[in-house]
Protein backbone atom coordinates (compact mmCIF):
# COMPACT_ATOMS: atom_id res chain seq x y z
CA UNK A 1 0.00 0.00 0.00
CA UNK A 2 2.62 2.47 1.18
CA UNK A 3 4.73 1.73 -1.85
CA UNK A 4 1.85 2.34 -4.21
CA UNK A 5 1.15 5.79 -2.76
CA UNK A 6 4.80 6.70 -3.00
CA UNK A 7 4.80 5.61 -6.61
CA UNK A 8 1.92 7.94 -7.37
CA UNK A 9 4.01 10.84 -6.19
CA UNK A 10 6.78 9.84 -8.50
CA UNK A 11 7.49 12.70 -10.95
CA UNK A 12 6.89 10.51 -13.98
CA UNK A 13 3.50 9.46 -12.65
CA UNK A 14 2.62 13.10 -12.02
CA UNK A 15 3.68 14.00 -15.52
CA UNK A 16 1.49 11.29 -16.97
CA UNK A 17 -1.43 12.53 -14.89
CA UNK A 18 -0.89 16.08 -16.12
CA UNK A 19 -0.75 15.02 -19.74
CA UNK A 20 -3.93 13.00 -19.48
CA UNK A 21 -5.68 15.95 -17.82
CA UNK A 22 -4.64 18.30 -20.59
CA UNK A 23 -5.85 15.94 -23.25
CA UNK A 24 -9.29 15.67 -21.72
CA UNK A 25 -9.36 19.51 -21.28
CA UNK A 26 -8.98 20.16 -25.02
CA UNK A 27 -7.44 23.61 -24.86
CA UNK A 28 -7.83 25.93 -27.81
CA UNK A 29 -5.24 28.65 -27.99
CA UNK A 30 -6.04 31.89 -29.78
CA UNK A 31 -2.87 33.66 -30.84
CA UNK A 32 -3.13 37.42 -30.45
CA UNK A 33 -0.42 39.94 -31.25
CA UNK A 34 0.07 43.58 -32.11
CA UNK A 35 -0.43 47.12 -30.86
CA UNK A 36 1.28 48.07 -27.62
CA UNK A 37 -1.56 50.48 -26.94
CA UNK A 38 -3.96 47.56 -26.88
CA UNK A 39 -1.73 44.97 -25.24
CA UNK A 40 -2.75 45.69 -21.65
CA UNK A 41 -6.44 45.66 -22.46
CA UNK A 42 -6.07 42.48 -24.53
CA UNK A 43 -4.30 40.84 -21.62
CA UNK A 44 -7.04 41.87 -19.21
CA UNK A 45 -9.63 40.52 -21.61
CA UNK A 46 -7.70 37.28 -21.94
CA UNK A 47 -7.62 36.82 -18.18
CA UNK A 48 -11.29 37.57 -17.74
CA UNK A 49 -12.27 35.47 -20.75
CA UNK A 50 -10.44 32.43 -19.38
CA UNK A 51 -12.85 32.52 -16.45
CA UNK A 52 -15.84 32.59 -18.79
CA UNK A 53 -14.47 30.07 -21.26
CA UNK A 54 -11.89 27.92 -19.43
CA UNK A 55 -11.09 25.77 -22.44
CA UNK A 56 -10.01 28.72 -24.58
CA UNK A 57 -6.78 30.53 -23.86
CA UNK A 58 -5.70 33.79 -25.47
CA UNK A 59 -1.96 34.16 -25.90
CA UNK A 60 -1.42 37.92 -26.04
CA UNK A 61 1.78 39.66 -27.06
CA UNK A 62 2.72 43.20 -28.07
CA UNK A 63 5.31 44.45 -30.50
CA UNK A 64 3.37 47.14 -32.31
CA UNK A 65 0.50 47.34 -34.77
CA UNK A 66 2.70 46.64 -37.78
CA UNK A 67 4.16 43.53 -36.17
CA UNK A 68 0.69 42.19 -35.43
CA UNK A 69 -0.57 42.73 -38.94
CA UNK A 70 2.59 41.18 -40.41
CA UNK A 71 1.96 38.11 -38.25
CA UNK A 72 -1.62 37.98 -39.48
CA UNK A 73 -0.40 38.05 -43.08
CA UNK A 74 2.02 35.19 -42.37
CA UNK A 75 -0.72 33.26 -40.62
CA UNK A 76 1.11 32.96 -37.29
CA UNK A 77 -1.67 34.69 -35.32
CA UNK A 78 -5.44 34.44 -35.26
CA UNK A 79 -6.06 38.04 -34.24
CA UNK A 80 -3.92 41.09 -34.97
CA UNK A 81 -4.33 44.10 -32.68
CA UNK A 82 -3.85 47.46 -34.27
CA UNK A 83 -4.23 51.07 -33.21
CA UNK A 84 -4.32 52.15 -36.87
CA UNK A 85 -6.41 51.02 -39.83
CA UNK A 86 -4.86 48.26 -41.94
CA UNK A 87 -3.08 49.59 -45.03
CA UNK A 88 -4.41 48.61 -48.45
CA UNK A 89 -1.17 46.83 -49.30
CA UNK A 90 -1.29 44.83 -46.07
CA UNK A 91 -4.91 43.92 -46.68
CA UNK A 92 -4.08 42.85 -50.20
CA UNK A 93 -1.12 40.71 -49.03
CA UNK A 94 -3.17 38.98 -46.35
CA UNK A 95 -6.04 38.21 -48.70
CA UNK A 96 -3.69 36.93 -51.38
CA UNK A 97 -1.87 34.64 -48.94
CA UNK A 98 -4.97 33.25 -47.25
CA UNK A 99 -7.38 33.44 -50.19
CA UNK A 100 -9.95 34.86 -47.79
CA UNK A 101 -11.23 38.30 -46.80
CA UNK A 102 -9.77 40.33 -43.93
CA UNK A 103 -12.32 41.20 -41.28
CA UNK A 104 -12.09 44.38 -39.26
CA UNK A 105 -13.44 44.55 -35.70
CA UNK A 106 -13.57 47.86 -33.85
CA UNK A 107 -13.09 46.95 -30.20
CA UNK A 108 -12.89 50.39 -28.62
CA UNK A 109 -11.82 53.99 -29.00
CA UNK A 110 -8.71 55.68 -27.76
CA UNK A 111 -9.50 59.33 -27.09
CA UNK A 112 -6.95 61.61 -25.46
CA UNK A 113 -8.07 64.46 -23.25
CA UNK A 114 -6.00 67.57 -22.58
CA UNK A 115 -6.40 69.07 -19.14
CA UNK A 116 -5.19 72.04 -17.08
CA UNK A 117 -5.41 73.21 -13.47
CA UNK A 118 -8.95 74.22 -12.38
CA UNK A 119 -7.75 77.82 -11.85
CA UNK A 120 -6.63 78.11 -15.46
CA UNK A 121 -9.13 80.32 -17.36
CA UNK A 122 -8.56 78.48 -20.67
CA UNK A 123 -11.56 76.40 -21.76
CA UNK A 124 -10.43 75.23 -25.16
CA UNK A 125 -7.44 75.15 -27.50
CA UNK A 126 -6.71 74.40 -31.11
CA UNK A 127 -4.43 71.56 -32.18
CA UNK A 128 -1.97 74.20 -33.37
CA UNK A 129 -1.85 75.88 -29.95
CA UNK A 130 -1.24 72.58 -28.19
CA UNK A 131 1.46 71.83 -30.75
CA UNK A 132 3.04 75.20 -30.00
CA UNK A 133 3.24 74.19 -26.33
CA UNK A 134 4.51 70.63 -26.79
CA UNK A 135 6.27 70.56 -30.15
CA UNK A 136 9.97 70.84 -30.85
CA UNK A 137 9.32 73.60 -33.36
CA UNK A 138 6.75 75.32 -31.13
CA UNK A 139 7.68 78.42 -29.17
CA UNK A 140 4.94 78.76 -26.55
CA UNK A 141 6.70 78.69 -23.18
CA UNK A 142 4.40 81.05 -21.30
CA UNK A 143 0.66 80.99 -20.85
CA UNK A 144 0.59 84.54 -22.22
CA UNK A 145 1.65 83.04 -25.59
CA UNK A 146 -1.78 81.40 -25.76
CA UNK A 147 -4.07 84.36 -26.49
CA UNK A 148 -2.55 86.40 -23.62
CA UNK A 149 -3.76 84.05 -20.93
CA UNK A 150 -2.90 84.82 -17.33
CA UNK A 151 -3.19 81.89 -14.94
CA UNK A 152 -3.93 82.85 -11.32
CA UNK A 153 -1.58 81.18 -8.87
CA UNK A 154 1.06 80.66 -11.55
CA UNK A 155 3.64 83.26 -10.65
CA UNK A 156 5.87 83.59 -13.69
CA UNK A 157 3.12 82.38 -16.06
CA UNK A 158 5.49 79.72 -17.39
CA UNK A 159 3.89 76.60 -18.85
CA UNK A 160 4.83 73.40 -17.04
CA UNK A 161 4.41 70.65 -19.64
CA UNK A 162 3.42 67.27 -18.25
CA UNK A 163 4.13 64.38 -20.58
CA UNK A 164 4.62 60.63 -20.42
CA UNK A 165 7.64 58.36 -20.71
CA UNK A 166 8.59 57.90 -24.32
CA UNK A 167 7.60 54.25 -24.63
CA UNK A 168 3.98 54.78 -23.71
CA UNK A 169 1.34 54.37 -26.41
CA UNK A 170 -0.39 57.50 -25.15
CA UNK A 171 2.80 59.50 -25.70
CA UNK A 172 3.16 58.23 -29.23
CA UNK A 173 -0.44 58.77 -30.23
CA UNK A 174 -0.49 62.27 -28.76
CA UNK A 175 2.65 63.09 -30.73
CA UNK A 176 1.16 61.77 -33.97
CA UNK A 177 -2.18 63.50 -33.47
CA UNK A 178 -0.90 66.87 -32.26
CA UNK A 179 2.58 67.28 -33.71
CA UNK A 180 2.22 65.24 -36.86
CA UNK A 181 4.36 62.33 -38.04
CA UNK A 182 7.63 64.27 -38.35
CA UNK A 183 7.89 66.37 -35.21
CA UNK A 184 9.23 65.42 -31.78
CA UNK A 185 8.18 66.65 -28.39
CA UNK A 186 10.28 69.55 -27.13
CA UNK A 187 12.59 68.34 -24.37
CA UNK A 188 12.05 69.81 -20.91
CA UNK A 189 8.61 68.38 -20.21
CA UNK A 190 8.10 66.46 -16.99
CA UNK A 191 7.85 62.86 -18.15
CA UNK A 192 5.75 60.94 -15.68
CA UNK A 193 5.31 57.23 -15.56
CA UNK A 194 1.55 56.92 -15.42
CA UNK A 195 -1.71 58.62 -16.24
CA UNK A 196 -2.66 58.92 -12.60
CA UNK A 197 0.59 60.73 -11.75
CA UNK A 198 0.01 63.25 -14.53
CA UNK A 199 -3.45 64.13 -13.26
CA UNK A 200 -2.27 64.44 -9.65
CA UNK A 201 0.57 66.66 -10.78
CA UNK A 202 -1.66 69.02 -12.75
CA UNK A 203 -4.18 69.13 -9.90
CA UNK A 204 -1.36 70.43 -7.65
CA UNK A 205 0.34 72.74 -10.13
CA UNK A 206 -1.50 75.84 -11.46
CA UNK A 207 1.02 76.43 -14.28
CA UNK A 208 0.75 72.98 -15.80
CA UNK A 209 -0.92 71.21 -18.71
CA UNK A 210 -1.21 67.49 -19.32
CA UNK A 211 -2.85 64.80 -21.43
CA UNK A 212 -4.21 61.36 -20.80
CA UNK A 213 -6.53 58.66 -22.08
CA UNK A 214 -10.11 59.75 -21.56
CA UNK A 215 -10.86 56.91 -19.18
CA UNK A 216 -8.45 58.23 -16.58
CA UNK A 217 -9.92 61.73 -16.24
CA UNK A 218 -10.88 63.02 -12.84
CA UNK A 219 -12.64 66.18 -11.70
CA UNK A 220 -9.53 67.41 -9.88
CA UNK A 221 -8.40 68.87 -13.19
CA UNK A 222 -10.13 70.96 -15.83
CA UNK A 223 -10.58 69.19 -19.14
CA UNK A 224 -10.53 71.50 -22.14
CA UNK A 225 -12.26 71.20 -25.48
CA UNK A 226 -10.20 70.79 -28.64
CA UNK A 227 -10.70 72.44 -32.03
CA UNK A 228 -9.13 71.18 -35.25
CA UNK A 229 -8.22 74.75 -36.23
CA UNK A 230 -9.27 78.29 -35.37
CA UNK A 231 -12.28 78.06 -37.71
CA UNK A 232 -13.61 74.79 -36.30
CA UNK A 233 -15.92 74.25 -33.41
CA UNK A 234 -14.33 73.35 -30.07
CA UNK A 235 -15.30 69.77 -29.21
CA UNK A 236 -15.44 68.45 -25.65
CA UNK A 237 -13.82 65.05 -25.00
CA UNK A 238 -16.89 62.95 -24.29
CA UNK A 239 -17.41 59.31 -25.24
CA UNK A 240 -20.20 60.37 -27.64
CA UNK A 241 -17.92 62.83 -29.45
CA UNK A 242 -15.19 60.20 -29.63
CA UNK A 243 -17.62 57.67 -31.12
CA UNK A 244 -18.89 59.94 -33.89
CA UNK A 245 -15.28 61.02 -34.60
CA UNK A 246 -16.04 64.73 -34.18
CA UNK A 247 -13.45 64.93 -31.40
CA UNK A 248 -10.08 65.50 -33.10
CA UNK A 249 -7.80 63.34 -30.93
CA UNK A 250 -9.64 60.03 -31.01
CA UNK A 251 -8.93 56.87 -32.94
CA UNK A 252 -10.44 53.44 -33.29
CA UNK A 253 -8.75 50.39 -31.83
CA UNK A 254 -8.93 47.47 -34.22
CA UNK A 255 -8.64 43.73 -34.16
CA UNK A 256 -8.18 42.03 -37.52
CA UNK A 257 -8.92 38.44 -38.50
CA UNK A 258 -8.82 36.59 -41.81
CA UNK A 259 -11.65 34.58 -43.33
CA UNK A 260 -14.96 33.58 -41.77
CA UNK A 261 -14.79 33.52 -37.97
CA UNK A 262 -14.30 30.13 -36.36
CA UNK A 263 -16.73 29.50 -33.52
CA UNK A 264 -14.12 30.11 -30.79
CA UNK A 265 -13.22 33.48 -32.28
CA UNK A 266 -16.83 34.45 -32.84
CA UNK A 267 -17.62 33.67 -29.20
CA UNK A 268 -14.73 35.88 -28.13
CA UNK A 269 -15.79 38.83 -30.28
CA UNK A 270 -19.35 38.48 -28.99
CA UNK A 271 -18.02 38.43 -25.43
CA UNK A 272 -16.14 41.72 -26.02
CA UNK A 273 -19.50 43.42 -26.44
CA UNK A 274 -20.68 42.33 -22.98
CA UNK A 275 -20.64 44.64 -19.95
CA UNK A 276 -17.91 42.63 -18.23
CA UNK A 277 -15.57 43.25 -21.14
CA UNK A 278 -16.61 46.90 -21.47
CA UNK A 279 -15.79 47.47 -17.83
CA UNK A 280 -12.20 46.41 -18.54
CA UNK A 281 -12.13 48.69 -21.59
CA UNK A 282 -13.05 51.66 -19.42
CA UNK A 283 -10.54 50.57 -16.77
CA UNK A 284 -7.79 50.68 -19.40
CA UNK A 285 -8.66 54.28 -20.21
CA UNK A 286 -10.49 53.61 -23.49
CA UNK A 287 -14.03 54.20 -24.70
CA UNK A 288 -15.96 50.97 -25.32
CA UNK A 289 -17.98 50.38 -28.48
CA UNK A 290 -21.66 50.91 -27.65
Partner 1 sequence: METQSIRSKRSVRPRSERVIEGLIKAGGMSSILFIAGILLFILKESSGYIFGSFNFVEFFTSGEWNPASVEKIEYGTLALLAGTLSVTMLSMVFAVPIGLACAFYISEFCPPQLRETYKILIEFLAAIPSVVWGFIAVVIVNPLLINSFGVATGLNILNAALILSLMSLPLIVSIGEDALRAVPESYREAAEGLGATKWEIATRVLLPAAKNGLMAAALLGVGRALGETMAVLMATGHSIRFPSSVFDPVRTLTATIAAELGESPKGGEHYQVLFALGLYLFILSFAINILADWLVRGRGKKV
The dihedral over CA atoms of 276, 277, 280, 286, expressed in degrees to the nearest 10, equals -130
Tell me whether residue 249 is exposed, middle or buried, using C-beta atoms within 10 angstroms of its C-beta: 0 to 12, 13 to 18, 19 or more. Answer: buried
Residue 152 interacting with partner 1 (CB under 8 A): no
DSSP 175: I
Q: Do 183 and 135 touch, CB atoms closer than 8 A?
A: yes
Residue 155 interacting with partner 1 (CB under 8 A): yes
DSSP 60: E
Q: Which is nearer to partner 1, 146 or 235 (CB)?
A: 146
Contact segment (CB under 8 A) with partner 1 among 41-49, 78-86, 180-188, 244-252 equals 180-188
Contact segment (CB under 8 A) with partner 1 among 16-24, 120-128, 161-169, 269-277 equals 161-169
List 28, 103, 141, 172, residue binding partner 1 (CB under 8 A) = 172
Residues of span 78-137 touching partner 1 by CB under 8 A: 136
Rounded distance between C-alpha atoms, residue 285 and residue 216, angstroms:
5
Contact segment (CB under 8 A) with partner 1 among 17-25, 74-82, 91-99, 153-161 equals 153-161
Q: Which is nearer to partner 1, 63 or 124 (CB)?
A: 63
Secondary structure of residue 158 in the 3-state scheme: strand
Minimum distance from CB of 182 to partner 1 (Å)? 6
Rounded distance between C-alpha atoms, residue 52 and residue 32, angstroms:
18
Residues that bind partner 1 (CB under 8 A): 63, 136, 154-156, 158, 160, 165-168, 171-172, 175, 181-184, 187-193, 200-201, 204-208
Amino acid sequence: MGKLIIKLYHPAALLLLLISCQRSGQHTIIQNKGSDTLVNLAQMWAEEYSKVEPTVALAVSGGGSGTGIAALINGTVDIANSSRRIKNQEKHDAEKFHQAAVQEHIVGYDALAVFVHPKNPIDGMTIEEIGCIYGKRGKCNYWSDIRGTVVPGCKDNQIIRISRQSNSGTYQYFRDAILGPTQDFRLGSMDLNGSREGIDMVAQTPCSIGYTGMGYLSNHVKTICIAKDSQSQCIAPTPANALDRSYPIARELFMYTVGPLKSDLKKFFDWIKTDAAKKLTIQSGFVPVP
